Amino acid sequence: MKKLIFINGPMGVGKTTVCQHLYRQLPASVWLDGDWCWMMHPWRVTEENKQMVEDNIIYLLGNFLRNSSFQHVIFCWVMHQEAIAQQLVEPVTAPTPF
């Protein structure tokens, strides 16, 4: 069974370090860091940029989950509210309409 693993916590607690170890230890795994989706210069937190980053994360998570090469999809990010995780999980775990 494919697993989606969320690593959450405040900045500086070791999320990246945990993910580095996890994706090397777990078979057929991929690691997506939400911060990578925010690497822009200049860094601007606007509603448009927030929506774009969320859309990109959902797209990437969905593609990794649908790819038969992976058994484990690891995602790390600062998700200070449970609603953030829900917004990302619901679209990628919803049944596909026929």
Cα 46 to chain centroid distance, Å, stands at: 20
What is the C-alpha to C-alpha distance for residues 35 and 12, in angstroms, rounded to an integer?
Answer: 13
What's the predicted TM-score (pTM) here? Answer: 0.86
Domain ranges of the chain: 3-93
- Does domain 3-93 bear CATH number 3.40.50.300? yes
Q: How confident is the model at residue 55 (pLDDT cuts 50, 70, 90)?
A: very high
58 phi, psi to nearest 5 deg: -60, -45
Of 1-5, 27-31, 55-59, 84-88, the poorest mean pLDDT is in: 84-88
Q: What is the pLDDT of residue 91?
A: 85
